[in-house]
Structure 1
Amino acid sequence: MFVPAELRTTPPAAIPAAASPVTTPPPPTSLRQAWVALVGLSAVFLFEMLDNSVLTVALPTIGRELSATTTELQWVTSAYAVVFGGLMLAFGALADRFGRRRLMLTGLTLLAAAGLATALVTTAWQLIAVRAALGVAAAMTTPGSMALAFRLFRDDALRVRATTLISTVGLIGLAVGPTLGGLALTVLPWQALLLVNAPIAVLALIGVRAGIAPDSPAELHRAPVDVVGAALGTATVVLALVTPTLVASGPGWAPWGTGGAAVLAALGFAHRQRTAAHPLLDLALLARPLVASGLAYKAAAALATAGLGYLVALQLQLDWGWSPAQAALGTLPQVVVLLAGGAFVRPLLSRLGFDRAAWLGAAAVVAGLAEYALLGHLGYPWVALALVLVALGLRVVGVVAAMNVLRGLPENRTTTGAALTDTAGEVASATGLAITGTSLALLFGPDLTAPGWTPLQTAHFHQAILVAALALTALAAALVTWGARRSRAVRA
């Protein structure tokens, strides 16, 4: 791939002479030639999106059947995101060194096993443990789906088409997940919704194994693994995301301890990356305009999607008394936009370019959040409008942000770049869930799923929704503003 002079870095260390060459087939010249690989990679992305969307609509049912508190429900959603976000960067660096295909196949095996374990869950904390195991598997697989698709082709136009295809399959899962999940809950136990992860993992395993050749040693990054840096980076993300949940659990010193530890770990990580001979992450890469803007836009979209989905699911079912099936049908505007929006991504990119299209999509996300915060309590049409605006923005940002980050990095850092993108998205998702969960726990109390709310509880719920939505809007707007500033540096 052509890399502009301003984006080039020092080439990787030379491959030892003893390394035996691996004959790799010529890159495919069409999507049809790579259909087996694309099926497998699309299945990986489908798992991530379908799993989160199905879980969201099932939360009220899970809370009642497992007698889960508000904090436990937050952990059910956050455990996956905390582990996923904490480990992605480390696994991305390992994949660039030891083989992207090898690490993905290992993660898919773990994913299938963790999916089957859902059938054995009987308590909230058992479900939280399963969700954490799924987070480990996702950290090993999800970054590789975009990185392998990017490396599969040499032409940027084919890369955009492949990335659009994979993200479309994932967004279909995000779109139809609540609808199918809500309808399925009328006849099936909630465990059945999460068991679907196992067959998706098997499909991905077959596609990746048959359609993607093993990594050539010449394409791997040969620097030693920065184990200390990986540990500090993981600790930073995990501690930062655990702290809001501890705040919601009640007063005490635990949140102050974890928050302080997160700051120390972050400082230690930054110092380690600046001084290590072979850092896990070259911090100079984050300063590149393409990388910085892509990560900011990705974070804004993920924050909005996770926070809005959580709030709407609870509002429709717990506040307005809708059944899971009715709540599922209530997400249909989002479904339509996510499914039909793919036809407009390529023309939009051709007309506006990557940078302006990303800004426009991110701005739509912020507008949707703001509209929901101010008008969502007035009735369903306003909720539907918020879902449409956020879905429109996500449809564009989901493709462009990842492509910008990968385009701005050296060839032998593609999995690290994909891991950076997914880490930004997952940390932002967990932050969105933490903001909403903490607002509900502090302003409503622990009995969120208890039937028969009093008028005072309903008022507290509305107050919590307003506070959470406004906080999400402000944070997303700050991220979009930062991304726009970095994008101007790209144009300059």
Structure 2
Amino acid sequence: MQPHPRRWLILIALCLSTMVLVIDNMALTVAVPALSADLGANAQDIQWILESYMLVFAGLLLTAGSLSDRYGRRKAMVVGLTLFGVASLAGTFATTPGELIAARVAMGVGGSLIMPANLSIMINVFTDEAERRKAMAAGAAFGVLGLVGGPVLGGALVASLGWEAVFWINVPVAALAITAAVTLMPESKGPVTKPDPLGAILSVIGMSALVWTINELAHGVAWVPLIIAVVALGGFVFWELRTEHPMVPLKLFGDRDFAGGSLSMTLVQVGNGGLLLVLTQYMQFVLGYTATQAGLAFIPMFAASMIFNGVGAALGNRLGNRTTAVLGMVVMAGGFGLLSLSTADSFAILAVAQAVLGAGSGLAMPSAVIALMGAIPAQQAGVGSALNNTIQQAGAALGVAILGTLATGSYAAAMPAGASEEARRSVAVAVADPSLSAAAREAYGAAMSSAFLGAAAGVIAAAVLALLLLRGRRKAGAPTTGAPGESKTLVAV
């Protein structure tokens, strides 16, 4: 199969579509104080403004992936980008928290259409294994750029133009990505199959309830959404394994590469999911950084990830996916271990730890994604990538809940006996009190160490899973997985 002549231009468009999602969510975090004051939003309103997007996004991913396979991946991406851009524009005119939450819900719907289509288009355009590695490494690097650049850009925009600017910025980027998609990208679809409405309904209900449950873990177990999640997802698995035309190919988990890649990356995301939550608070409340300074402080991780994404792509070709992924995860665990040693008077350790963490991520993630996506038949690329994204999103949300709860519990336990309950719950409150400021900083430093040691343990567990489940390097001519009669590019692992 001949490579697409405009594949590198298409990659730029795919990277833009991914980056707009990451930048938006990260920039919004630094806009919270300004929009809270302007809209009169209380703490519950802010929680829904931040989490309504993720609730809808995660809930619709599987259905959106199935729709993109059925009706066209480029079409799904264009519709998703259009909805995301229009909803972002609507968000700039919000005058109440309810209006902004509604805009965020619509943005979540658009984002759920963009993500599965993005990866499946990349797989279909880059048919050469070595080029596909480079493309995925570039995509990961752009994701990190958005992750780190979001707070910096958001802080600058909010300071100069107001909180509405973090939504305005999405509009031209979405328009540019739409133009590129229409003019450059080829359309691709999976084979026509019967729709699976019951599977779609159960997946939306189950995943939304699961994300809701995870987000509430810091406040205790939310039993109603937990029961709904268990019943709906249990019913979804039962139905998908028995129906003649399943929406999601759950049998992919029978493939060692898919199971090993997706499950190990889920554990990695548990660590990464809580990273920004814990480390950003440490920088701002313990080290006294502004939101912009905190964003700039992530540059060592960004630079290392950019460099080692390319190194990881080259090593993956030489050593295979399993070796490269395991090596990267071990390095990541070392980075989390170094972060646990950071102290308030030592930015050097913080910078080195971030660089090690970024290097490990750059080595591990492209190889793990290559391995699991190589196990997915081409006609199911959309829903397969959606399944992978859904698992990782659940891991990231679980990481926020687990590491956030671990840090909060450790912080409260380390505070002096005479501290108020409010100061025990919030480091922001405690550092504002001169009599508690020093103790609160020390307590949060200890809490951060506990959280990152937990993250290191999770990443080590991911490395063990990858080592046990991912296949070793295949010999040339080895059989590939896929549907009978289907031509599929061999993924060297």
TM-score range, shorter chain: 0.7 to 0.9
Code of the residue aligned with 1:222 in structure 2: it is V
- Work out the CA distance in 2 between the residues paired with 1:363 and 1:51: 31
1:52-78 deviation line (CA, Å, top 9, x unaligned): 333345556666766766666555443
2:334/2:356 contact within 8 Å kept: yes
Match of 1:373 among 340, 351, 354: 340
Alignment of 1:339-378 (within 5 A): 339-375=306-342
Q: TM-score, normalised by structure 1?
A: 0.83
The 1:396/1:63 distance shift into structure 2, 3 A limit, reads farther
Q: More deviation in 171-180 or 427-436?
A: 171-180
Match of 2:210 among 236, 240, 249: 240
The 1:117/1:434 distance shift into structure 2, 3 A limit, reads farther
- Work out the CA distance in 1 between the residues paired with 2:90 and 2:364: 34
- Work out the CA distance in 2 between the residues paired with 1:479 and 1:343: 22
1:276 maps to what in 2? 243
Code of the residue aligned with 1:170 in structure 2: it is G
Match of 2:137 among 131, 140, 164: 164
Match of 1:306 among 253, 273, 293: 273
- Work out the CA distance in 1 between the residues paired with 2:144 and 2:375: 24
Would you say 1:465 and 2:454 are equivalent positions? no
- Work out the CA distance in 2 between the residues paired with 1:195 and 1:82: 22
The 1:457/1:46 distance shift into structure 2, 3 A limit, reads same
1:232/1:268 contact within 8 Å kept: yes
Gaps of 5+ in 1: 2-25
2:343/2:445 contact within 8 Å kept: no
- Work out the CA distance in 2 between the residues paired with 1:377 and 1:320: 6
1:74/1:245 contact within 8 Å kept: no
- Work out the CA distance in 2 between the residues paired with 1:471 and 1:71: 28
The 1:57/1:42 distance shift into structure 2, 3 A limit, reads same
Would you say 1:230 and 2:200 are equivalent positions? yes
- Work out the CA distance in 2 between the residues paired with 1:164 and 1:72: 37
Match of 1:486 among 460, 469, 477: 469
Alignment of 1:241-256 (within 5 A): 241-249=211-219, 255-256=222-223
The 1:490/1:153 distance shift into structure 2, 3 A limit, reads closer
Would you say 1:140 and 2:107 are equivalent positions? no
Alignment of 1:82-481 (within 5 A): 82-122=55-95, 126-215=99-188, 219-249=189-219, 255-375=222-342, 379-439=346-406, 443=412, 449-450=428-429, 452-453=432-433, 454-455=436-437, 458=441, 461-462=444-445, 464-481=447-464
SS in 2 for 1:187: helix
1:171-221 deviation line (CA, Å, top 9, x unaligned): 322233333334444434233234322211111101111112333xxx522
- Work out the CA distance in 2 between the residues paired with 1:289 and 1:66: 50
The 1:463/1:161 distance shift into structure 2, 3 A limit, reads closer
Q: More deviation in 83-92 or 323-332?
A: 323-332
- Work out the CA distance in 1 between the residues paired with 2:45 and 2:308: 35
1:75/1:245 contact within 8 Å kept: no
The 1:247/1:171 distance shift into structure 2, 3 A limit, reads closer
SS in 2 for 1:190: coil
1:355-400 deviation line (CA, Å, top 9, x unaligned): 2111122222233223323545664333323322221222233322
1:198-246 deviation line (CA, Å, top 9, x unaligned): 211111101111112333xxx5222222221222222222222212433
The 1:96/1:194 distance shift into structure 2, 3 A limit, reads same
SS in 1 for 2:17: helix
1:299/1:428 contact within 8 Å kept: yes
1:60/1:449 contact within 8 Å kept: no
1:428-450 deviation line (CA, Å, top 9, x unaligned): 22222223444566646665655
- Work out the CA distance in 1 between the residues paired with 2:211 and 2:336: 22
The 1:399/1:489 distance shift into structure 2, 3 A limit, reads closer
Code of the residue aligned with 1:259 in structure 2: it is L
2:4 maps to what in 1? 28
Gaps of 5+ in 2: 413-422, 475-492
- Work out the CA distance in 2 between the residues paired with 1:90 and 1:376: 45
- Work out the CA distance in 1 between the residues paired with 2:37 and 2:449: 25
Aligned CA-pair RMSD: 3.0
1:23-61 deviation line (CA, Å, top 9, x unaligned): xxx6425xxx33442232121121233233333455566
C-alpha displacement of 1:149: 1.4
Code of the residue aligned with 1:452 in structure 2: it is A
The 1:332/1:477 distance shift into structure 2, 3 A limit, reads same
1:56/1:313 contact within 8 Å kept: no
C-alpha displacement of 1:479: 3.2
Give the number of aligned pairs.
459
Q: TM-score, normalised by structure 2?
A: 0.83
2:287/2:344 contact within 8 Å kept: no
The 1:124/1:481 distance shift into structure 2, 3 A limit, reads farther
1:6 maps to what in 2? none
1:265-309 deviation line (CA, Å, top 9, x unaligned): 222112111221211223221121111122123323433333111
Q: More relative contact order in 1 or in 2 (CA 8 Å, sep 6+)?
A: 1
Code of the residue aligned with 2:204 in structure 1: it is T
- Work out the CA distance in 2 between the residues paired with 1:123 and 1:371: 43
- Work out the CA distance in 1 between the residues paired with 2:453 and 2:96: 33
1:388-417 deviation line (CA, Å, top 9, x unaligned): 222122223332222222211111111122
The 1:327/1:139 distance shift into structure 2, 3 A limit, reads same
The 1:364/1:232 distance shift into structure 2, 3 A limit, reads farther
1:15 maps to what in 2? none
The 1:307/1:98 distance shift into structure 2, 3 A limit, reads same
- Work out the CA distance in 2 between the residues paired with 1:428 and 1:135: 18
- Work out the CA distance in 1 between the residues paired with 2:96 and 2:446: 30
- Work out the CA distance in 1 between the residues paired with 2:9 and 2:140: 16
- Work out the CA distance in 1 between the residues paired with 2:42 and 2:473: 47
The 1:68/1:171 distance shift into structure 2, 3 A limit, reads same
